[in-house]
Structure 1
């Protein structure tokens, strides 16, 4: 039983790290684990999605915390400015793109900084990330 959970647990950790401001490669790990056939695609999808969403919520929370210390005008980084413009235009729906490499993490950070609604943000983040992992399973599963 424990051996059957090692793959999904490793995938959960990889996905969590990948969705913070740290780099990671949960998509490659998911594709590899699908080829190993040691765990069901559904369990792998759930592990990857849950870890990735929790990592994004951690980044979102970091944005909220940073907002208490630094004013919004401190968003001088060009990626952060782009994320701010995008989120000010689309609101939480902009977080449907939180799964994208390079821009997804700043989107979550800035969404927290802007104090977007947590529930709406969680729904958008989850939908985008769940769909991304479903596509990977469709391609490699």
Structure 2
């Protein structure tokens, strides 16, 4: 179970981890109930996104440096777009590009409770679907 937690946490950061393989292998082995696998993987993956969010918060501290890759105008435009549409993009943090969304949420200072709630819903939903698929209940 610790391996699943670490794989899920790492998969939600910039590290090249794959939690789905570990999850499916543990489920097929049958040593743990599916609900426990979903819980451990979801918590680990959500915490990994929190780490990525915090990296975004840290990265934003350098926005006035000359080498910072975005202009104030670009950040302002991104903030307006994100405030209008981007918040719901947190429901896509389960996808391969989800790390970038979590990072942007940190840079753009998404409210902490909203971030955690939407990311947890997305991550848990993914692992529920993976558990159902691995069990052969959905195609």
Say whether the fold is shared (TM-score over 0.5).
Answer: yes
Distance 1:118 1:65 in 2: 14
Distance 1:31 1:37 in 2: 10
Distance 2:16 2:70 in 1: 21
The equivalent of 1:97 in structure 2 is: 92
Q: Could you list the per-position Cα deviations for residues 83-130 of structure 1 after superposition, in whole angstroms to 9, with x for gaps in the alignment?
A: x486344242210001101x1001000110000111111111011110
Distance 2:28 2:127 in 1: 15
Q: Could you list the per-position Cα deviations for residues 13-51 of structure 1 after superposition, in whole angstroms to 9, with x for gaps in the alignment?
A: 000000001111101111111100011111111110000
Structure number with greater Rg is: 2
Distance 2:9 2:115 in 1: 17
Corresponding residue SS for 1:137: helix
Moved more, 115-124 or 85-94: 85-94
Q: Sort the Cα spacing of 1:59 and 1:139 in 2 relative to 1 into closer, same or farther, 3 A.
A: same
Across the aligned residues of Structure 1 and Structure 2, the Cα RMSD in angstroms comes to: 2.1
Structure 2, unpaired ranges of 5+: none
TM normalised by structure 2 equals: 0.83
Query: Is 1:116 aligned to 2:87, yes or no?
Result: no
Q: Could you list the per-position Cα deviations for residues 58-101 of structure 1 after superposition, in whole angstroms to 9, with x for gaps in the alignment?
A: 00011001111225x7248xxxx9xx486344242210001101
The equivalent of 2:50 in structure 1 is: 57
Larger % of helix: which?
A: 1
Structure 1 ranges of 4+ moved more than 2 A: 73-76, 84-89
Distance 2:108 2:15 in 1: 21
The equivalent of 1:3 in structure 2 is: none
Query: How many residues matched?
Result: 127
TM normalised by structure 1 equals: 0.82
Q: Sort the Cα spacing of 1:87 and 1:23 in 2 relative to 1 into closer, same or farther, 3 A.
A: farther
